[in-house]
Amino acid sequence: MPIPGLERRRPLLLAPMEEITDQTFRRLARRFGADLVFTEFVSSEGVVHDAPKSLAKFALAPDEHPVGIQIFGARIAAVVASARRAAEAGADLIDLNAGCPVRKVAGKGGGAGLLRTPQLLEEMAQALVDAVALPVTVKIRLGWDERSINVVEIATRLERAGAAAVTVHARTRSQRFRPPADWSWIGRVKQAVSIPVIGNGDVWEPADAARLFDETACDAVMIGRAAMGNPWIFSRTRHYLDTGTLPPPPSTAERFGVLLEHLREAVAEKGERRGVIEMRKLYRGYLRGLPGAARLRAALMEPLTLTGVQRCLADYGRAQEIDLHGSASGPPARAGGSEGTGRTMEEPATDPRFEAHLAAARAAARRAWAPPRERCGAVAISRAGERFCGATMQLAAPSGLSVCAEQVALCAARAAGAGEIACVCLWIGPAAGDHPCGTCRQIWLELAPRARWLLQRGDQPPQWLSLDRLLPDPFRDFSPER
């Protein structure tokens, strides 16, 4: 069965991402050139129990088609029932999630858990094909872990069940989003089946999409995290695929204009407070590479109203001498982290003022810990001339998780008001994760490329670390992509 949106040469798709690809985001992606978009994933159990949150995800706008509704679940009856509801809601296709690595989904047999039960997955896909008069696609991973890669077998079974296409995220469930995607498996799946194969994983720039097409012969490329706060990824990639040249990046004025348009639509869809708060996760993409982006992003974490966000952007424009209704009149935007990434690090020379402030901050952070000492203390110290000042924060870190670098970044940004950040100190409880969350690496590269980093875990001796060692992977612990 033909899949809407895949008719053109080298189509580009927006990946389903939980709490990201809402109606406003999908419409924006379509406007900027995405050939097919997908909803957030929808719980089949939530649908059959008429859960408002699940049913709300079925709301589609006229200008976002073609659009696929992605569903997940472990029971065939529930998945089929929710697919029928999705068809009634106006979906152009049904996508079955067999790749979500999240424990509460995969651990119950849904998402990537289906990769461990190939027969059940095949029967589920067959039931969906029989139940709806729409194309049925399935998004899968390479396997449960590196020892059980079965993506070719799974794709072959799905083709036999009647699936119209298969999307391959080129990592296993256990890898989540950490190592580079292994595109070679996408090519092997393409050779094994005759249905369209959609490649997914590590497409960050237009050239990445071109390489994925060339190296695997896949029929379409799906873009996920790179589109967050960056709808231009679709138009720029399309231009690159068609001409072999890159168009200029969007100006600051254009970025802010689209950001505010996105925010206004989100507020209209969800209400002001919720729309403003949920927009925060997209600021990194919209502001990436702008001078002072980290400080602006920190400031944008404060407003709870559309007017407050507009005021922050206007203040930034005045400070940078940028005409937000035209082109920049000040210096060109600097890519974040291009100067001094803190790749080498030695213990700093002793400074009595610094040491006194550090000792007081360490004492405050350690006192905040409580048994079983799962809290993490974070201190950021900035320097203005001969004066040091700092801010201290204690963050809860449930067992198995790590301190949230986003919150540490905000703490540091506030402390940086007195001058350049001199040091960031982290104390991680024994029950917390191995190292701080890597989601905010870019924030630190922009905000404090020359800062000294001190890490202490439990009662172990403190270590002075480089930024690369402290935050080795910008997406180690986070991705909304399913």
**Cα angle, residue 177 at apex, residues 8 and 478 outer, rounded to 5°:** 110
Q: Which residues contact 446 (CB under 8 A, 6 or more apart)?
A: 292, 293, 294, 336, 337
Q: How many CB atoms lie within 10 A of CB 300?
A: 20
Which is it for the CA torsion 54, 59, 64, 69, positive or negative? positive
Q: Regarding beta strands 220-223 and 387-396, do their DSSP bridges make them parallel or antiparallel, or are they unpaired? A: unpaired
Catalytic residue positions?
A: 100
Which is it for the CA torsion 479, 53, 38, 184, positive or negative? positive
Are 376 and 432 spatial neighbours (Cβ–Cβ below 8 Å)? yes
Euclidean distance between CA atoms 199 and 186, whole angstroms? 6
Q: Cis check for the bond before 372: say yes or no (omega within 30 of 0).
A: yes
DSSP string, 141-199: ESBSSGGGB-HHHHHHHHHHHT-SEEEEESS-TTTTT-SPP-THHHHHHHHH-SS-EEE
Length of the chain: 482
Structure tokens at 402: 């790590």
Q: Which residue, chain included where needed, has tokens 């924006």?
A: 28
Rg (CA), the chain: 24
Q: How far is CA 179 from CA 55, 166, 222, 406, in A?
A: 35, 22, 18, 22
Structure tokens at 130: 């029989």
Short-list 146, 279, 225, CA closest to 478? 225
Q: Which residue, chain included where needed, has tokens 């390489």?
A: 211
Are 376 and 427 spatial neighbours (Cβ–Cβ below 8 Å)? yes
